[in-house]
Amino acid sequence: MNLDIISIGDELLIGQTLNTNAHWISKEMNAIGFAIREHLSIADTAEAILGAVENALQNSDVVLVTGGLGPTKDDLTMPVLNSYFGGNLVRDEQVYKHIEEIITSRGYVMNQHNQDQAIVPDNCKVVHNANGTAPGLWFEKDGKVLVAMPGVPYETKAIITDTVIPWLKEKYELPEIINQMVYTQGIPESMLAEIIADWEDGLPSGIKLAYLPSPGRVKLRLSMVGKNRSTMQSIVDEQVELLKQIIPDNVYSEESEDLGELIGALLKSTGKTLATAESCTGGYVSHLVTRVAGSSDYYKGSVIAYANEVKIAELDVKSTDIEQYGAVSQQVVEQMAVGVQQKMKTDYAISTSGIAGPTGGTDEKPVGTVWIAVATPDGVISKKYQFGKLRDVNIERAAMTALGMLRSCF
């Protein structure tokens, strides 16, 4: 069953407001069995609304509309939908009473705009909005459903959770959809695709595979649609296990993308501690670690050794090694890791040193060159990486790679 999402508002089109509604609605609707056909953001004009609604109802079974249900003149969703579905606008006394309770409880007197929000098409089911004054509207035509809702995110979420989802489940026999994620790290997308090509070619016909790359990691999504969830899950699980046999060192989770969370769980379960020494990542590694609740149980601290004098004074890096090999070198990054490990008295330590860009590169060490080291109870491992030319991406990729290196030590 196909579903379209129409988001109304000039503020969305000019980048003034981020369309979080469409993102959240997609996840919720896909989880109950709908295939999301299209997201569409449109202007606050009658022409745009009418055109979008007509197109969506021609191509999808359900259309969810957000925005344009407020009390002001620029809110055109209500009159356009009333005209399209051939209704008459009437006052709903239950809606009126709800609006009056909200307005008066805030110490205000009902004005004409507030009263007008109780006027709804007589050929729709009114959807209660417990958190606001604009009601939702449920229309049906030729076996299809359109639901209009206010654009305020917390109002939309409550309406969908409390009413729309239960009503849709009651009206339609929806399929089961599985979207199993497999999170990988330490191998680029193109190389990953080559390594698992035979596995991908051998996937059962009902499974669809998607590659979703991001800096420092690649997400794989195995999707399946059917009627029996347990049977489908067994089929998908079997394929995931086969995949893990092919790239055992690269799969780090099937549940959470958050490497910081995974590292935290490993450290906590083993009773080990961690510190970081960062140059080119400027504290981003420690950010990934400390954004996890409870990280104080295993994370001790960091030295942001951006300048060479800090590397020397705080981490006991030899000045002669910096002069001879440069700050971006195996010798320096390993001393940084050991230095912070000893300074913080931790079991593990991560260090990074590189050229994030966009300037500072040389022929020998171009932009994107990064050395990463991990000090462990048994010694130090280090590796040189060559990332790209974009500064922010290099910082994120280096931080994710550093956590991946630490994970491989357990």
Largest CA distance in the chain: 85
The reported pLDDT for the residue numbered 38 is 97
- Is 40 in the same domain as 146? yes
The reported pLDDT for the residue numbered 72 is 79
The reported pLDDT for the residue numbered 52 is 97
Residues of the chain predicted below pLDDT 70? none
Total count of domains within the chain: 3
- Name residue 383's beta-bridge partners: 372
The reported pLDDT for the residue numbered 336 is 98
- Is 274 in the same domain as 332? yes
User: For the whole model, what pTM was predicted?
Assistant: 0.80
Calculate the CA dihedral of residues 120, 121, 125, 127 and round it to 10 degrees.
-30
- Is 330 in the same domain as 370? yes
- Is 239 in the same domain as 272? no
Which one of 253, 270, 285 terminates a domain?
253
| CATH number where 82 lies | 3.40.980.10
- Is 36 in the same domain as 75? yes
- Is 304 in the same domain as 399? yes
- Is 17 in the same domain as 145? yes
The reported pLDDT for the residue numbered 337 is 98
User: Two tokens at 290?
Assistant: 């400390």
- Is 243 in the same domain as 279? no
- Is 185 in the same domain as 151? no
Which candidate, 187, 241, 230, places its Cα nearest to that of 211?
Answer: 187
- Is 357 in the same domain as 269? yes
| CATH number where 327 lies | 3.90.950.20
Long-range contacts of 263-267 (CB under 8 A, 24+ apart): 263/289, 263/403, 263/406, 263/407, 264/289, 264/292, 264/294, 264/295, 264/298, 264/299, 266/407, 266/410, 267/298, 267/299, 267/348
The residue segments making up the domain with residue 281 are 259-407
Which one of 124, 149, 171 terminates a domain?
171
Which one of 253, 270, 299 terminates a domain?
253
Size (the chain), residues: 410
| CATH number where 244 lies | 3.30.70.2860
- Is 210 in the same domain as 332? no
- Is 62 in the same domain as 159? yes
